[in-house]
Amino acid sequence: MNDIGLWGDRIFRETSLLICGSLLALSVIMFLARNSASHLMAGWASLKSWLFLAPLILLVLASPSPWPLVFLALVGIASAKTFFQMVGIYHRSWFVWATYLSIAALGYLVYNEDLELFNLSPMIFLGLISLIPLVRNSATNMIQYLALSLMSFIFWGWSLMHLGLLLMLERGSFIVLYLYLLTEVSDNVALAGSRIFGKHKPFDKISHRVSLEGILVSVIASVLLAWGMRHLLPDRSERFWIAAGLIAAVVGRLGGLILSVIRRDLGIKNTGVFIIGRDDILSRTDKLIFVGPIYYYVYLYLQQVPWL
């Protein structure tokens, strides 16, 4: 990749202007109408953080390799930190630092395209942290620390870093941008659809914000957006953009629900505010822990079956 990254690409520049312009216009509308309804106030709270975050993500994705991958690894580490704070083992520094260093190592493996070690990394990590109780000569609460550390590494290391594997593909930054846009739009449409139309809530004991009606509306919106922005994909065939839209809408719900299970079990809502606005960093990455790996393997599979 050249020294200016994607800044020289016309499609990327036009897409960036479209995203930032749309966010700015929507933010003005939300700001002016924020006091007229509670859901508009919530929408304005979310948009405030995106006014800062969207340009940052575009700036990172446009940067030459390996900076997008470095940024992704840092996001994974920050997410793991928030997770450790949420579950109450942030003080167990041996487990915490083993997780941080292992996530950083995953970034190195992705950059060197060492898929064999990457796929073995969950077992290697489990073996590594299993030595900590022996080194510390302690058995107190170690099952809890081992399980939570492994969960953190799997979610915000191995799973999230599949976006890094996508980055390494041809026009990988475009694929990641495309997938991220679909996931975020799908999530917000699902929440709005649930507020307006939501009657059937199969996970009401986990999250009141997820309804079958909201999911259906988000599927329709995601597939339409996937079609409208298919120019970002290296291959614009139907199978690639339809798969992306469906995965973002359906699979993206899983990450949010899993985090809701953990938060509900702990009796907390979030661990703080992410930059400005609302929610923490886990609320920004939870959807990607399933969307990233599933779309990566589906994408590779679809490349091998051109007859579909």
CA-wise closest residue to 88 among 268, 299, 256:
268
CA-wise closest residue to 23 among 167, 174, 184, 176:
184
d(CA 163, CA 98): 22
What are the helix (H) ranges across 137-280? 142-153, 162-167, 172-197, 212-228, 238-246, 252-266
Q: What is the pLDDT of residues 214-247, one digit of tens each?
A: 889 999 999 999 999 999 999 999 999 999 999 9
Query: Binning pLDDT at 50, 70 and 90, where does residue 6 land?
Result: confident
Query: Binning pLDDT at 50, 70 and 90, where does residue 2 land?
Result: very low
Per-residue confidence (pLDDT) for residue 269, from 0 to 100: 65
Q: What is the pLDDT of residues 116-163, one digit of tens each?
A: 999 999 999 999 999 999 999 999 999 999 999 999 999 999 999 999
Mean pLDDT score across all residues of the chain: 87
* Domain regions of the chain by residue span: 1-64, 67-164, 171-308
Count helices and strands in the chain by DSSP H and E runs: 14, 0
How much of the chain, in percent, has pLDDT values that exceed 90?
Answer: 50
How much of the chain, in percent, has pLDDT values that exceed 70?
Answer: 88
Per-residue confidence (pLDDT) for residue 271, from 0 to 100: 54
Tell which wins on pLDDT, 41 or 135.
135
d(CA 106, CA 121): 8
Q: What is the pLDDT of residues 52-104, one digit of tens each?
A: 788 888 889 888 889 999 999 999 999 999 999 999 888 889 999 999 999 99
Per-residue confidence (pLDDT) for residue 195, from 0 to 100: 80
Tell which wins on pLDDT, 223 or 22.
223
The pTM score is 0.89
3-state secondary structure (DSSP) of residue 205: coil
